[in-house]
């Protein structure tokens, strides 16, 4: 897989490479399905399960989760100008990062509420 850094070894690249090694970034960027309306890569699962996890930690904070994701995606977009592939994304990827992340929260909420209704438990 090799080094995916495109900026020539900036401080940001060094920090990113320590947090998420380049081989993992390359793997997560692997496109599983793509057309003009949908993008699915391994990052999609990271975002989806991030939403699920956030729901279980903060089940009443959907608006907070949306704001966190928007701020994160704007920051990631701005960092993308440095050229590091962890941050460089197309518009469709940014949109679907939000869709998968917020969708994970909403699906976890729906499943949890459905199970509670079926089994008669309350929070």
Question: What residues make up the domain containing 90?
Answer: 11-119
- pLDDT of 84 > 70? The answer is no
4 in a structural domain: no
Phi, psi of 31 (to 5 degrees): -85, 125
Percent of the chain with pLDDT over 70: 80
2 in a structural domain: no
Domain count, the chain: 1
Three-state SS annotation for 6-49: CCCCCHHHHHHHHHCCHHHHHHHCCEEEECCCCEEEHHHHHHHH
Q: Which two tokens stand for residue 81?
A: 């100008």
6 in a structural domain: no
User: pTM (2 decimals)?
Assistant: 0.78
């Amino acid at each position: 897989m090799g080094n995916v850094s495109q900026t020539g070894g900036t401080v940001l690249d060094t920090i990113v490479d320590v947090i998420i090694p380049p081989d993992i970034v390359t793997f997560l960027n692997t496109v599983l399905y793509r057309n003009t309306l949908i993008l699915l890569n391994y990052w999609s699962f990271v975002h989806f399960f991030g939403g699920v996890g956030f729901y279980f930690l903060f089940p009443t904070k959907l608006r907070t989760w949306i704001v966190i994701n928007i701020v994160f995606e704007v920051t990631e977009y701005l960092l993308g100008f440095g050229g590091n592939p962890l941050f460089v994304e197309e518009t469709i990827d940014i949109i679907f990062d939000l869709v998968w992340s917020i969708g994970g929260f909403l699906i976890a909420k729906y499943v949890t509420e459905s199970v509670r209704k079926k089994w008669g438990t309350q929070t």
